[in-house]
Amino acid sequence: MTDARRIIIIGCGAGGGTSAQFARKTDRTATITIFEKGRYPQYSKCGLPYAIAGTVPAFQDLIEFSEEWFQKEHIDIHLGTSVESIDMKNKRVVAQNSSERIEREFDSLILATGATPWIPPIQQIQNNGQLLQGIFVLRTIDDGKQILAQIKKGKHAVIIGAGLIGLEMADTLHTKGMNVTVVEALPTILANTLDEDMSEPVLQSLQLKISVLTNHLAMRVEEHHGAIISLTIKENNTGREKKIQTDLLIIATGTKPETDLAKTIGCAIGKTGGIIVNEKTETSVKDVYAVGDCTEYKDFITNEPLCVGLGSIVVRQGISAGTNAAGGTYTLPPGVILTRTSEFFRMEIAAVGPVKQGMKNLPLVTGKYTGFSKPEYFPGKDSITIKVGAEEQTRRIISAQAVGSNAAQRINTLACAVLGKMTIEEFRKLETAYAPPIAPTLDALTLACDVAALRLDRKRRNP
Amino acid sequence: MTDARRIIIIGCGAGGGTSAQFARKTDRTATITIFEKGRYPQYSKCGLPYAIAGTVPAFQDLIEFSEEWFQKEHIDIHLGTSVESIDMKNKRVVAQNSSERIEREFDSLILATGATPWIPPIQQIQNNGQLLQGIFVLRTIDDGKQILAQIKKGKHAVIIGAGLIGLEMADTLHTKGMNVTVVEALPTILANTLDEDMSEPVLQSLQLKISVLTNHLAMRVEEHHGAIISLTIKENNTGREKKIQTDLLIIATGTKPETDLAKTIGCAIGKTGGIIVNEKTETSVKDVYAVGDCTEYKDFITNEPLCVGLGSIVVRQGISAGTNAAGGTYTLPPGVILTRTSEFFRMEIAAVGPVKQGMKNLPLVTGKYTGFSKPEYFPGKDSITIKVGAEEQTRRIISAQAVGSNAAQRINTLACAVLGKMTIEEFRKLETAYAPPIAPTLDALTLACDVAALRLDRKRRNP
């Protein structure tokens, strides 16, 4: 008779929490321990903008699995507890919280240490490693609460970064009655999600509600008189500088993987800075798994390494790590397809696969179609634009983007085609669901593929 | 130099009209002629319930391509013109309208003759082949106008048939303020779309608004005093009969393919009564194509022949027939997957693949999951139930059904998996789009597959 399997999980975000749940589902007798340095058990980080906006009534509502829930599942959860060291020789973890030092042995270890916000090199933004008063990142419930408190103190907000989180926060702050300016260093918004031709109409819509300054670099926080922040930004092309006064400054310029512990035990770190994991979420160190924002995995299309950072992927890694660590088998596809979506100012956007920018070495042919969610004659129809990308030689669908009605669910259908390595020809013959109040006989999904097919044919004839 | 290709199309519904458009796209110089016996050019039959309801303001709005549109495309369209005979030896069609007799030769002929309503054997429902006053089918704009006129004459309506059209009409008549009774001979509603466990909650919701009598056979129209119809129905199990008085009776019990002309030229007719066509919509007669409701094609999963009858399929057949008849190549998949959807009483339902009933010889394992359209903590979430069916040996996804939020778009994603022959394992690892206002990290799509996977594993262990 063997002793119960011992699994230790470091971090209780979506990755760690999901790992724990699936470890428990796989092995009812395993001893499962979670160490989480923060105060809260598994909660939805992606829900923070909606809790600040008040759409979700309270921050507490974001907690998806409570401390009690884990305890009921006989998962030994330690909040407010930092792991200080990992001893791989004796497979032992040492953790510390305000009242005790905990030493525990493991058979399998799952690193779910997450990521920390990346702070761009803006002069004088930090003082002794602390952001100045009125300047925030959005990563934790505590960040959210501080932002909400600051919103009450003024009317002007600046967000640095026009990615998904930056624009979700722009919507939130606009909802709260603030005048919002978004500063983006790149020439386009949503650069990781949409190609420029797709993001341009979104940008135009945004400009009706807020001010978006693309091609502007945040240079320095020049003065800081009481509660007013003066931010200097520089126009990239002209080099011209200008100052913006704001009551609230949010940095939404991405994250960097938290890998300090992983490095101490020799886990291989990839060129993005994340812990390298394979299809089973195994690291380079035996019996050590890693999941979520601290990891690096392959892009399904380009094979390039990338940091994960999407909740949809994180939970699937958690399923894999928890299942495998507990003696089961769960193998992920050989890469991530990056199905992603967001909604702000009542616009829904979604994408799958790399943006054009990320496919420099792949000969890509695209097809784009703008139509309606319902037949032309049907009242209450909404606009939908679909863009689909196919690899020129194989005609295989490798990317898609959508803006408009049910963008996310439409992208799911194309995501299935990407994962299934379908060609444009196969997909355009897919019967899509049709009924006048719901969708036209030929959905924008199909018609975008028709455009791509025509272009592919033309390229074949005139290479 | 050859003369321009001559294409004749009989029928200008969605199948015929789409054929003409794609023939024109494929060959800019072809002579294209359409003979349509009705008064209207291509319009949406599926839109009729919504024009009766007033959601679509006028019947005229349902016309998707006008006479002028066809003429502008140099398509010679003859409305109100019946084809009297086809001479295959000389490849000539003779047509007749109120003012002239038209003889025209063709290189390719496309039959798009549609279907006619199937009238169940209800005693005294017809008089000399005419339905009695107050009794209607819903197939044409003229049918729709007559129903609308009749609605104004009374409060009580009975619909025979609880399929998609029957229930769409139930919603329409309820919207118009009528008391609606639906009589269905089968024990369940929507028998071609949903399994009983999926349709049962839909039935329960319907019963709050209208009266649905399943397991009841319409026997006879016993009296017909002025405008009041007395319908006798019989409960199948007990044999008990009862009478219902109604001001309006609609027959929605399906259609039969219109194949009279096809038979005169020797087109092979299948066991469903439709014209047999192949992947290129070719009939058994050289240079003769057929599309739409008059045809029979294979089910992708069961290989059984079936009548087509879905707008989504009809237009795709039209693309194929038009393209092929004009010298291009467009090959359809080797069977139809029957992606279908409808909405009534604010419920959206959708399905792909055969219902369980239709898969008697296929060992099927299903997984069902009821969840929400958004994360549990997010306000305004709607319910969604997904059921997925996998072939036991191959674990390939062969069917799916959905009731609730975005059922149609969710079924499209599963339809892609059916067409792409994906297994449950592959599909459940698909990254679905996640953002709190839009969808949860693990969509009901995924979780239904998880249930199916568990059951498949259990069957494998305990066969």
Question: Which residue of chain A has the CA closest to B418?
Answer: A430
Q: Domain check: are A201 and A53 in the same one? A: no
pLDDT tens across A296-355, in order? Answer: 999 999 999 999 889 999 999 999 999 999 999 999 999 999 999 999 999 999 999 999
Is B196's pLDDT higher than 50? yes
- Residue B333, domain member (yes or no): no
User: What is the separation, in whole angstroms, between the first and last Cα of chain A?
Assistant: 68
Q: Which of B197, B230, B251 is the last residue of a domain?
A: B251
CATH number for the domain that contains residue B127: 3.50.50.60
Is B280's pLDDT higher than 60? yes
Q: Answer whether B319's CB lies under 8 Å from B330's CB.
A: yes
Is B232's pLDDT higher than 70? yes
Mean pLDDT of chain A: 96
Question: Tell me, what's the pLDDT at B358?
Answer: 80
Poorest-pLDDT segment among A19-23, A383-387, B130-134: B130-134
Among A375, A408, A410, beta carbon nearest to B44: A375
Is A284's pLDDT higher than 50? yes
Q: How many domains does chain A have?
A: 3
- Residue A169, domain member (yes or no): yes
CATH number for the domain that contains residue A442: 3.30.390.30
Within 64-123 of A, beta carbons closer than 8 Å to B belong to 64
CB atoms within 10 A of CB B90: 10
Q: Bridge partners of A33?
A: A8, A76
Could you give the percent of chain B with pLDDT greater than 70?
Answer: 99
Q: Domain check: are B155 and B210 in the same one? A: yes
**Contact flag B416-A427 (C-beta cutoff 8 Å):** yes
Is A66's pLDDT higher than 90? yes
Q: Domain check: are B184 and B81 in the same one? A: no
Q: Domain check: are B299 and B363 in the same one? A: no
Mean pLDDT of B202-223: 95
Q: Domain check: are B356 and B449 in the same one? A: yes
What is the distance in angstroms between the Cα of B48 and the nearest Cα belonging to chain A? 10
**Contact flag B409-A411 (C-beta cutoff 8 Å):** no
Taking the C-alpha atoms of residue B425 and residue A255, their distance in angstroms, rounded to an integer, is 32
Q: If DSSP states are collapsed to H, E and C, what string results for chain A? A: CCCCCEEEEECCCHHHHHHHHHHHHHCCCCEEEEECCCCCCCECHHHHHHHHHCCCCCHHHHECCCHHHHHHCCEEEECCCEEEEEECCCCEEEEECCCCEEEEECCEEEECCCEEECCCCCECCEECCEECCCEEECCCHHHHHHHHHHHCCCCEEEEECCCHHHHHHHHHHHHCCCEEEEECCCCCCCCCCCCHHHHHHHHHHHHCCCEEECCEEEEEEEEEECCEEEEEEEECCCCCEEEEEECEEEECCCEEECCHHHHHCCCCECCCCCEECCCCCECCCCCEEECHHHEEEEECCCCCEEECCCHHHHHHHHHHHHHHHCCCCCCCCCCECCCEEEEECCEEEEEECCCHHHHCCCCEEEEEEEEECCCCCCCCCCEEEEEEEEECCCCEEEEEEEEECCHHHHHHHHHHHHHCCCEHHHHHCCCCCCECCCECCCCHHHHHHHHHHHHHHHHHHCC
Torsion of CA B302, B305, B309, B314, to 10 degrees: 90
Q: Domain check: are A136 and A247 in the same one? A: yes
Q: Which domain does B292 fall in, by range?
A: 6-113+261-325
Question: Tell me, what's the pLDDT at B1?
Answer: 43
For the question of residue B449 being annotated catalytic, the response is: no
Contacts of A431 in chain B (CB under 8 A): 310, 312-313, 316, 336-339, 352, 415, 419
Q: Domain check: are A128 and A235 in the same one? A: yes
pLDDT-based confidence at residue B225 (cuts at 50, 70, 90):
low
Among A56, A310, A434, beta carbon nearest to B379: A56
Within 394-423 of A, beta carbons closer than 8 Å to B belong to 406, 408-413, 415-417, 419-420, 422
Among B50, B415, B439, beta carbon nearest to A431: B415
Q: Domain check: are A68 and A156 in the same one? A: no
Question: Tell me, what's the pLDDT at B129?
Answer: 86
CB atoms within 10 A of CB B438: 23
Contacts of A378 in chain B (CB under 8 A): 47, 50, 55-56
DSSP state for residue B420 in the 8-state scheme: T
Taking the C-alpha atoms of residue A232 and residue A408, their distance in angstroms, rounded to an integer, is 37
Q: Is the CB of residue B442 less than 8 Å away from at least one CB of chain A?
A: yes
Is A181's pLDDT higher than 60? yes
Question: Tell me, what's the pLDDT at B114?
Answer: 97
**Contact flag B312-A375 (C-beta cutoff 8 Å):** no
DSSP state for residue B75 in the 8-state scheme: E
Q: Domain check: are A321 and A389 in the same one? A: no
Q: Answer whether A254's CB lies under 8 Å from A161's CB.
A: yes
pTM: 0.96
Question: Tell me, what's the pLDDT at A163?
Answer: 97
Question: Tell me, what's the pLDDT at A461?
Answer: 86
Q: Answer whether A113's CB lies under 8 Å from A283's CB.
A: no
pLDDT tens across B368-397, in order? Answer: 999 999 999 999 999 999 999 999 999 999
**Contact flag B375-A443 (C-beta cutoff 8 Å):** no
Q: Domain check: are A165 and A273 in the same one? A: no
Q: Which of B217, B232, B251 is the last residue of a domain?
A: B251
What is the distance in angstroms between the Cα of A147 and the nearest Cα belonging to chain B? 19
Among A336, A416, A442, beta carbon nearest to B417: A416
Is B88's pLDDT higher than 70? yes
Taking the C-alpha atoms of residue B400 and residue B384, their distance in angstroms, rounded to an integer, is 13
What is the distance in angstroms between the Cα of B358 and the nearest Cα belonging to chain A? 19
Question: Tell me, what's the pLDDT at B362?
Answer: 83
Question: Which residue of chain B has the CA closest to A62?
Answer: B377
Poorest-pLDDT segment among A76-90, A221-235, B401-415: A221-235
B420 vs A359: which has the higher pLDDT? B420
Marked catalytic residue, from A46, A267, A294, A449: A46
**Contact flag A46-B445 (C-beta cutoff 8 Å):** no
What is the distance in angstroms between the Cα of A398 and the nearest Cα belonging to chain B? 14
Is A1's pLDDT higher than 50? no
- Residue B335, domain member (yes or no): no
Marked catalytic residue, from B12, B46, B267, B294: B46
- Residue A341, domain member (yes or no): no
Q: Domain check: are A17 and A99 in the same one? A: yes
- Residue B415, domain member (yes or no): yes
- Residue A72, domain member (yes or no): yes
pLDDT tens across A124-154, in order? Answer: 999 888 999 999 999 999 999 999 999 999 9
Q: Domain check: are A246 and A263 in the same one? A: no
Question: Tell me, what's the pLDDT at B224?
Answer: 62
Residue B349: which residues within 8 A CB-CB, separation 6 or more? B190, B193, B194, B202, B341, B342, B343, B401, B402, B403, B407
3-state secondary structure of B13: coil
- Residue A338, domain member (yes or no): no
**Contact flag A435-B46 (C-beta cutoff 8 Å):** yes
Sheet holding B364-372, edge to edge: B340-344, B347-352, B397-404, B383-391, B364-372
**Contact flag A377-B61 (C-beta cutoff 8 Å):** yes
Mean pLDDT of chain B: 96
DSSP state for residue B120 in the 8-state scheme: P
Could you give the percent of chain B with pLDDT greater than 90?
Answer: 93
Contacts of A336 in chain B (CB under 8 A): 431
Q: Which of A251, A286, A302 is the last residue of a domain?
A: A251
- Residue B98, domain member (yes or no): yes
Question: Tell me, what's the pLDDT at B223?
Answer: 66
What is the distance in angstroms between the Cα of B207 and the nearest Cα belonging to chain A? 22
**Contact flag A433-B314 (C-beta cutoff 8 Å):** no
